């Protein structure tokens, strides 16, 4: 992960981070914080504690998302709130789409279509308020007569990082369980890097070709990083760590508390293997899913 | 101990979950309602979540959100957001849509984005997620608001995250929203509100302990009352199951309202 971030993510990089409150590659966020990245343009459908940490650590200049919150409680994403309410640690620029509109914009990007119809959103706040993406929505007349149709332009992120379950050396990447918008999002990215729980032999990939979310020819690089999505869940690998979400929510109520979290869990652990070690064998065993259906 | 108004709300909401039909369930109290319904009168309810999960039976563990993948335990379908939001919800295959609406206005517009000016909010909230879609394309939309505080029922929300009837039902129809979409019911601790032809919310039914004048005081506009029905008191069995599920939710890190 260290090398992937050093090589592919300079300051100011535009990047889409995969995951939708599950399969959020938190290990990537931690490495971006360790390497003190600045001015990033982060796109993420569901921000979660991953985006919250990046915002708190001052890595983010622009954010495109449809939702940013802690997954338990529900308690707030405190750093996200501080940034937007009080400009702490600094102001960020935010642009918002609904999940449906985000999915369709990625679909347009993935298919290289000029636009995609989406959910009617005229009258909604994210239709009215436009920030750094003034053309995020348009309205056309249905050529077949039904009336006004909201459309979204193609979204083609310069770089995408996605958590997947397993990959082979060619980059054939597989996921089991629900996949949200991931397949469309991966295909929309101009450069795609996958973060796999495990590297497997191509023969194992062939056993379940239907689970391949990105064929190898779409993938630029592979990072193998077990537990990369903790504290969110990786279907068939580990469960959502509710206690860690709660701990994060509690510690990050203040800026000082957030700094303690980062010192203890991000900087202090050195790398993701160190983070997993700090979680401890007992917690890891509790969260591990033992039954696989493939 | 008699049922609290909050417990009443969960049972009233659960009644909108019907056996055998398809429901789109959003985050938070709707998920508890669905679980209560499944244990009471709707064991074969079909629940779909925005990430593409179809849950057709009681999971052993309460999912804290649609993306807590214990929801996918033994699922019959694990698909994508395109399936969930457009092929199931937008197509009209979903019969009832349940959306939490913590701040909701006279026309059923829901704010889960920002209180105060958008550029410099007094309180920043999470944002849409799939909530916009539930409001704009969901059929049989049931809104759930666990608050009785006037601030939760302004005349006009500061930001429309999930469109209700905007400034009236005619405006909604003119902007390309399909017929039969838009909020049908709001369930809260006071009882049930419905929406008139113009899309304006009115009081339609009250929980047993609630007086009409007190209920009216919770709304930030002079809310009208129709022929107000009295909702049935929960049975001992209903109450037992609601309390068990709230206990379960608490163990799963849900914050429960103070008693």
Average pLDDT over residues B147-162: 98
Encode pLDDT of A209-228 as tens digits: 999 999 999 999 999 999 99
Encode pLDDT of A24-59 as tens digits: 999 999 999 999 999 999 999 999 999 999 999 999
Nearest chain B residue to A104 by CA distance is B82
* Topology, domain B5-251: Glutaconate Coenzyme A-transferase (3.40.1080)
CB atoms B163 and A120 under 8 Å? yes
| A146–B contact, CB cutoff 8 A | yes
> Dihedral of CA B104/B106/B108/B114: which sign?
negative
B226 pLDDT tier (thresholds 50, 70, 90): confident
CB atoms B127 and A66 under 8 Å? yes
Task: Give domain status of residue A44, yes or no.
Answer: yes
Cα separation, B180 vs B191, in Å, equals 23
Task: Give domain status of residue A281, yes or no.
Answer: yes
Task: Give domain status of residue A65, yes or no.
Answer: yes
CB atoms A80 and B124 under 8 Å? yes
Placement of tokens 């517009």 in the chain: B109
B57 pLDDT tier (thresholds 50, 70, 90): very high
Average pLDDT over residues A64-90: 96
CB atoms B136 and A121 under 8 Å? yes
Q: Write the CATH number for A164.
A: 3.40.1080.10
Average pLDDT over residues B126-138: 97
Encode pLDDT of A247-262 as tens digits: 999 999 999 999 999 9
Residues of B in contact with A121 (CB under 8 A): 132, 136, 163
Which of A99, A116, A147 to mutate to test binding with chain B, by most B CBs within 10 Å of its CB? A99
- The share of chain A scoring above pLDDT 70, in percent, equals 100
Task: Give domain status of residue A64, yes or no.
Answer: yes
Range of the domain at A222: 2-96+157-287
CB atoms B79 and A66 under 8 Å? no
A146 pLDDT tier (thresholds 50, 70, 90): confident
Find out whether A64 and A51 touch, Cβ atoms under 8 Å.
no
| A123–B contact, CB cutoff 8 A | yes
Residue A294 has pLDDT above 90, yes or no: no
Average pLDDT over residues A86-111: 98
| Minimum-distance CB partner of B132 among A119, A129, A235 | A119
Mean pLDDT estimate for chain B: 97
Cα separation, B251 vs B259, in Å, equals 17
Q: Look at residue B259 in the predicted model and tell me its pLDDT.
A: 63
Contacting A residues, span 237-266, partner chain B, CB-CB under 8 Å: 239-240, 242-243, 245-246
Task: Give domain status of residue A292, yes or no.
Answer: no
Average pLDDT over residues A135-152: 95
Q: Look at residue A240 in the predicted model and tell me its pLDDT.
A: 97
ipTM metric? 0.96
Residue A154 has pLDDT above 70, yes or no: yes
A73 pLDDT tier (thresholds 50, 70, 90): confident
Does this model's pTM top 0.95? My answer is yes
Using CA atoms in the order A257, A258, A260, A263, what is the torsion angle rounded to 10 degrees? 180
Instruction: Supply the Cα-derived Rg of chain A in whole angstroms.
Output: 19
CB atoms A66 and B122 under 8 Å? no
Q: Look at residue A234 in the predicted model and tell me its pLDDT.
A: 97
Residue B47 has pLDDT above 70, yes or no: yes
Cα separation, B146 vs B164, in Å, equals 18
| Minimum-distance CB partner of A125 among B82, B86, B159 | B159
Q: Look at residue A187 in the predicted model and tell me its pLDDT.
A: 98
B211 alpha-carbon distance from chain centroid: 23
Residue A166 has pLDDT above 70, yes or no: yes
Q: How far is B159 from chain A (nearest CA, A)?
A: 5
- The share of chain A scoring above pLDDT 90, in percent, equals 96
Nearest chain A residue to B84 by CA distance is A180
Which residues of B are known to be catalytic?
A: 50
Encode pLDDT of B198-207 as tens digits: 999 999 999 9
Number of structural domains chain A divides into: 1
Task: Give domain status of residue A181, yes or no.
Answer: yes
């Amino acid at each position: 992960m260290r090398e992937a971030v050093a090589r592919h993510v300079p300051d100011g990089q535009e990047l889409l981070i995969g995951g939708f409150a599950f399969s959020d590659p938190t290990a990537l966020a931690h490495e971006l914080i360790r390497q003190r990245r600045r001015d990033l343009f982060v796109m993420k459908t569901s921000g979660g504690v991953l985006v919250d940490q990046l915002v708190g650590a001052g890595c983010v200049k622009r954010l495109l998302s449809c939702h940013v919150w802690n997954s338990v409680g529900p308690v707030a994403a405190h750093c996200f709130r501080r940034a937007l309410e009080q400009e702490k640690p600094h102001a960020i620029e935010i642009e918002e789409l609904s999940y449906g509109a985000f999915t369709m914009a990625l679909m347009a990007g993935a298919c290289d279509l000029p636009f995609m119809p989406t959910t009617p959103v005229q009258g909604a706040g994210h239709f009215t308020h436009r920030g750094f993406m003034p053309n995020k929505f348009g309205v056309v007349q249905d050529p077949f007569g039904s009336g006004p149709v909201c459309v979204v332009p193609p979204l083609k992120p310069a770089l995408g990082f996605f958590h997947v379950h397993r990959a082979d050396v060619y980059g054939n990447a597989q996921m089991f369980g629900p996949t949200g918008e991931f397949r469309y999002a991966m295909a929309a990215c101009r450069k795609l890097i996958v973060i796999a729980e495990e590297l497997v032999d191509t023969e194992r990939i062939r056993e379940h070709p239907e689970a391949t979310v990105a064929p190898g020819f779409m993938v630029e690089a592979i990072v193998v990083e077990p537990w990369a999505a903790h504290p969110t869940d990786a279907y068939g690998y580990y469960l959502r760590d509710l206690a860690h979400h709660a701990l994060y929510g509690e510690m990050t109520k203040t800026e000082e508390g957030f700094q303690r979290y980062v010192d203890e869990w991000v900087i202090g652990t050195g790398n993701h293997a160190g983070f997993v070690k700090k979680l401890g064998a007992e917690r890891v065993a509790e969260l591990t899913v033992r039954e696989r259906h493939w | 101990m008699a049922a609290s108004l909050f417990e009443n709300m969960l049972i009233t909401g659960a009644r909108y979950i019907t056996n055998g039909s398809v429901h789109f369930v959003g985050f938070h109290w709707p998920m508890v309602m669905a679980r209560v319904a499944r244990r009471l009168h709707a064991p074969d309810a079909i629940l779909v979540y925005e990430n593409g999960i179809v849950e057709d039976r009681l999971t052993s563990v309460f999912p804290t959100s649609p993306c807590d993948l214990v929801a996918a335990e033994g699922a019959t379908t694990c698909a994508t957001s395109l399936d969930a939001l457009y092929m199931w919800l937008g197509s009209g295959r979903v019969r009832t849509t349940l959306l939490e609406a913590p701040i909701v206005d006279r026309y059923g517009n829901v704010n889960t984005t920002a209180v105060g000016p958008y550029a410099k909010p007094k309180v920043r909230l999470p944002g849409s997620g799939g909530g916009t879609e539930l409001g704009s394309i969901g059929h049989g939309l049931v809104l759930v608001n666990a608050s009785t505080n006037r601030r939760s029922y302004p005349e006009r929300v500061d930001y429309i995250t999930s469109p209700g009837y905007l400034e009236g039902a005619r405006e909604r129809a003119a902007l390309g929203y399909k017929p039969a979409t838009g909020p049908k019911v709001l369930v809260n601790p006071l009882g049930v509100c419905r929406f008139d032809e113009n899309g304006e919310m009115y009081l339609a039914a009250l929980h047993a302990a609630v007086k009409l004048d007190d209920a009216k005081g919770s709304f930030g506009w002079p809310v009208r009352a129709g022929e107000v029905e009295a909702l049935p008191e929960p049975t001992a069995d209903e109450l037992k199951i609601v309390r068990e599920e709230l206990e379960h939710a608490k163990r799963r890190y849900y914050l429960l309202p103070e008693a």
